[in-house]
Amino acid sequence: MRVTSEKLAGYERDGFIVINDFVDIASCDRLRARAAELVRDFDPSGIVSIFSAHEQSRLSDDYFLTSGDKIRFFFEENAFLPDGSLNHRKEQSINKIGHALHDLDPVFSEFSRTPEIVQLVADLGIQRPLLLQGMYIFKQPRIGGEVTCHQDSTFLYTEPTDIAGLWFALEDATIENSCLWVIPGGHKLGLKSRWLRSTGGEMKFEVFDSSPWPEDRLVPLEVRKGSLIILNGLLPHKSLANRSTKSRQAYTLHVIGGDCRYPETNWLQRSPDLPLRGFS
Ligand SMILES: O=C(O)CCC(=O)C(=O)O
């Protein structure tokens, strides 16, 4: 499957592309089953203590900031009772798994390197692609948290900006179960901020433009299972909290151009043992 020139023109104009039925249903179900297996085998006891410990914020920040080359599990904010214990079953408490699923898990690695994805990324014009981040998002029923409006390049910054987020719907995504919302053309607003490690070691935002997002321009992208949404790294997007009884699972893969500068001040870093890889 090639991306049509019409769709590429839409990507340039709007900053996103929707391709229905990019993934067959069996492959969606294989990824869902694999994610369920990973969660089944995950022992949350140590991690729950990180989230409920006295130094909660520092420890959970470290757990996140060192996850760029690991498979780690992150909880929904509303998954905990005031005493720090889980309020729901483990399977219904995980917000996402990240951030090197695409390299460390054989099922996700194979999926992330299918010929269709290789072709798609070539069609997008990303040269010497590197697969930077692979993440599984559960958007749990009732407690799935809001993702506020942002640009992926704020967090995965490259010079020049050359990043695409591939968002695969593994279930139907509707307004009811909190589909993605995007600001068409918003990638032309420029990068509003960058999240980077300061010389003191802590993360902070460098703000280039503090004006609010024009959220009145947001449009919902309701898509069916198997659809792919491609997001330009500068496109503002968000998803609301999921208060419905249905989950809205998705797999996301972020691809960058291999010739870009990828600063050491970005949060997501790899150890020398697991350098970034492309499609081979
Ligand atoms: O899937 C979602 O709800 C939001 C994902 C997202 O915005 C992201 O990963 O950058």
Atom of ligand 1 nearest to the CA of 155: 10
Q: Residue 217: pLDDT above 70?
A: yes
DSSP state of 114: -
Which residue's CA lies nearest to atom 10 of ligand 1? 152
pLDDT digits (tens, 9 = 90+) for 170-216: 999 999 999 999 999 999 999 999 999 999 889 999 999 999 999 99
What is d(CA 233, CA 213) in angstroms, rounded to the nearest whole number?
Answer: 16
With a Cβ cut-off of 6 Å, ligand 1 is lined by 137, 139, 147, 152, 180, 237, 239, 250, 252
Distance (Å) from CA 249 to ligand 1 centroid:
11
Give the model's confidence band at 61: pLDDT under 50 very low, under 70 low, under 90 confident, else very high: confident
DSSP character at residue 201? S
Written as six digits, the tokens of 161 are 């900006």
C-alpha to C-alpha distance for 243 and 251, rounded to whole angstroms: 20
CA pair distance 199, 156, nearest whole angstrom: 18
Pair 164, 255: CB distance under 8 Å: yes
State pLDDT tens for residues 4-50. 999 999 999 999 999 999 999 999 999 999 999 999 999 988 777 66
Place of tokens 């692609």: 129
pTM: 0.96
Closest ligand 1 atom to Cα of 167: 1
- Res. 254: pLDDT tops 60: yes
Region for 128 from its dihedrals, namely left if φ exceeds 0, alpha if ψ lies in -120 to 50, beta otherwise: left
Which residues does residue 173 pair with via DSSP β-bridges, in sequence order?
A: 223
